[in-house]
């Protein structure tokens, strides 16, 4: 016997045929009014299938009587003496199911059709006769009862198949829901405020491609705005170019998500990236090698685009907040400048030097940013030092030294309660500590001194020596370098000094020239 394929119709055939074999009937399903003559693996009813479905006269007789057999809930008729056909018709939620059960009665042997059918089906009559005798075929009179049984079996088999399909459908939906949750969870994991928006877009594209089976993902932003990301992110190969994505997005002009068919790129999912009521861009996904995008997958794409929109909007807000925060710090530093004109520009110059030194050492971007901000506010404690001491032109006495030496702790106390700048505190508190332990306020040494403070200490001294003071002129660059080298291992971290000396001072020199128009400037190295 030939095994049927495993498509949906065949699964139905298998189940119904299997059930009907139990009452001695072979099954022929009818699709759109056309009989399917496929045979099924059924060891119990094998001889019936071979004889009744394989014989051309039976097929012709079924075709000829089809209208009668498919009437109402199904009719019944005798195709040949000893061969009955029972039409089965059932309406279900999934549509109409039709078929014909063909079964032999005991008259097949007694009334002579057997030889003709064996001949037509090209099966051995002796073998078939043996099977037929063994199976004790029902008499013609039993057909009404068998018809009722056959129809009941047909309906129940059909119902079982539908229930199984419904269970598979739930399984599939659960699986798709899991994929959606997995993706959304991954996206949410990446939604770190202050994280790099560009990195987030790239990882979101990767995650979406892997979860939903796209070969490529393209994200085109209309206006990256304050979030400072690349406006075109592509993951995978075979994606459209920036210009092509723009054309696709314009032609679709969707406000949510849709499937578009493009001659060059095939079927693509397209979703709008929205932040609040603004359209921020478009997410396009494709390259599924002919596999259609389901409505659930489209929902997934829309969810992903929604998350991208939220993230980009938050990134822009965060960027605004960051800029506002920096502005606030700069205002605080300006307050020190106003109090002590000799330090004008010093904090800003130490800030850029600390930033550049951290970058030159190879520290992470977040640390580089912290070094910049900490350098900017390192002397903020001078706000708490009396102006008469801070601005005194001559030498300071012991008590005045002591007052100025308080500024790291004062700065620390000013800033310590602001959670957003907690990272800057080590630079503020420890920038007057020395590598050999001779500094203040704690007198700690070596790597006990936070790296941030060791960086700022070098930049602070460099600027103090490079700028004019009221009581002496700026030292030449080579002289300053020599001084830094001499203090390696005593005042400064010996491993950082060479890195500092190799830096580019172009931006620093420009700031120094700008600030030197007015007063001299210096961190007060008189107390260092």
State the residues that interact with Fe ion by CB under 5 A: 379, 523
Min separation Cβ 411 and Fe ion, Å:
8
Which residue, 379 or 433, has its beta carbon nearer to Fe ion?
A: 379
Shortest distance, position 427 Cβ to Fe ion, whole Å:
10
Chain position carrying tokens 């003709």: 116
Shortest reach from residue 492's CB to Fe ion, in Å: 15
Residues 6+ positions from 33 with CB-CB distance below 8 Å: 66, 70
Q: How far is the CB of 383 from Fe ion (least distance, A)?
A: 12
- For 312, residues 6+ apart whose C-beta sits below 8 A from its C-beta are 197, 221, 224, 225, 227, 229, 273, 275, 280
Three-class secondary structure assignment of 277-320: CEEEEEEEEECCCCCCCCHHHHHHHHHHHHHHHHHHHHHHHHHH
Please report how close the Cβ of residue 521 comes to Fe ion at its closest, in angstroms: 13
Residue 269 near residue 301 (C-beta atoms within 8 A): yes
CB-nearer residue toward Fe ion: 36 or 405: 405
Q: How far is the CB of 421 from Fe ion (least distance, A)?
A: 17
Judged by DSSP in three states, 50 sits in: helix
Considering the complex, state which of residue 116 and residue 391 has its C-beta at the smaller distance from Fe ion: 391
Whole-angstrom CA distances from 360 to 364, 497, 500, 502 are 10, 11, 8, 9
Comparing CB distances to Fe ion, the nearer of 340 and 356 is: 340
Shortest Å distance, C-beta 460 to Fe ion = 6
Question: What does the CA dihedral 71, 74, 75, 77 come to, rounded to 10 degrees?
Answer: 120
Q: Which is nearer to Fe ion, 379 or 493 (CB)?
A: 379
Is the CB of 340 or the CB of 523 nearer to Fe ion?
523
| Backbone angle region of 290, left / alpha / beta, with phi > 0 → left and psi within -120 to 50 → alpha | left
**Shortest spacing between CB 432 and Fe ion, in angstroms:** 6
- β-bridge pairing 83-92 and 76-80: antiparallel
The nearer residue to Fe ion, 113 or 374, going by C-beta atoms, is 374
Closer CB to Fe ion, residue 180 or residue 523? 523
- Phi first, then psi: give them for residue 81, nearest 5 degrees: -55, 120
CA angle 94, 97, 98 (to 5 degrees): 165
| Six-digit token string for 514 | 């700008």
CB distance 278 to 312 below 8 Å: no
């Amino acid at each position: 016997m030939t095994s049927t394929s495993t498509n949906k119709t065949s699964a139905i055939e298998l189940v119904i045929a299997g059930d009907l074999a139990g009452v001695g009937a072979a099954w022929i399903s009818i699709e759109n009014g056309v009989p399917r003559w496929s045979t099924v693996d059924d060891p119990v009813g094998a001889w019936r299938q071979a004889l009744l479905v394989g014989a051309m006269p039976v097929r012709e007789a079924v075709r000829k009587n089809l209208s009668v057999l498919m009437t109402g809930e199904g009719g019944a008729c005798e195709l040949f003496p000893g061969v009955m056909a029972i039409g089965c018709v059932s309406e279900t939620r999934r549509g109409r199911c039709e078929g014909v059960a063909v079964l032999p009665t005991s008259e097949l042997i007694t009334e002579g059709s057997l030889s003709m059918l064996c001949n037509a089906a090209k099966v051995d009559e002796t073998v078939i006769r043996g099977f037929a005798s063994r199976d004790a075929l029902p008499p013609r009179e039993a057909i009404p009862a068998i018809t009722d049984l056959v129809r009941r079996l047909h309906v129940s088999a059909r119902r079982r198949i539908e229930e199984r399909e419904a269970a598979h459908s739930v399984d599939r939906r659960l699986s798709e829901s899991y994929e959606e949750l997995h993706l959304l969870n991954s996206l949410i994991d990446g939604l770190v405020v202050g994280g790099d928006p560009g990195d987030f877009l790239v990882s979101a594209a990767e995650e979406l491609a892997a979860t939903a089976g796209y070969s490529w993902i393209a994200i085109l932003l209309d206006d990256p705005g304050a979030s400072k990301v690349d406006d075109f992110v592509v993951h995978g190969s075979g994606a459209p170019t920036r210009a092509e994505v723009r054309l696709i997005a314009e032609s679709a002009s969707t406000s949510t998500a849709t499937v578009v068919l493009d001659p060059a790129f095939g079927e693509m999912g397209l979703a709008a990236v929205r932040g609040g009521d603004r359209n921020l861009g478009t997410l396009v996904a494709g390259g599924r090698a002919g596999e259609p995008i389901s409505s659930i997958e489209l929902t997934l794409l829309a969810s992903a685009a929604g998350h991208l929109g939220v993230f980009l909007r938050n990134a822009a807000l965060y960027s605004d907040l960051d800029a506002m925060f920096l502005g606030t710090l700069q205002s605080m530093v300006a307050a020190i400048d106003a109090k002590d004109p000799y330090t004008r520009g010093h904090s800003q110059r130490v800030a850029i030097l600390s930033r550049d030194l951290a970058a030159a050492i190879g520290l992470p971007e977040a640390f580089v940013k912290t070094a910049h901000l900490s350098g900017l506010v390192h002397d903020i404690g001078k706000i708490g030092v009396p102006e008469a001491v801070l601005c005194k032109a001559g030498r300071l006495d012991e008590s005045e030294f002591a007052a100025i030496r308080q500024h790291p702790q004062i700065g620390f106390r000013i800033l310590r309660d602001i959670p957003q700048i907690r990272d800057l505190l080590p630079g503020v508190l420890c920038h007057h500590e020395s590598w050999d332990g001779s500094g203040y306020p704690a007198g700690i040494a070596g790597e006990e001194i936070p790296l941030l403070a060791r960086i700022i200490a070098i930049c602070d001294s460099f600027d103090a020596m490079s700028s004019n003071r009221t009581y002496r002129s700026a030292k030449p660059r080579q002289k300053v370098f020599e001084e830094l080298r001499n203090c390696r291992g005593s005042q400064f971290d010996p491993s950082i000094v060479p890195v500092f000396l190799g830096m580019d001072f172009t931006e620093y020199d420009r700031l120094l020239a700008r600030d030197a128009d007015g007063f001299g400037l210096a961190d007060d190295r008189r107390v260092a």
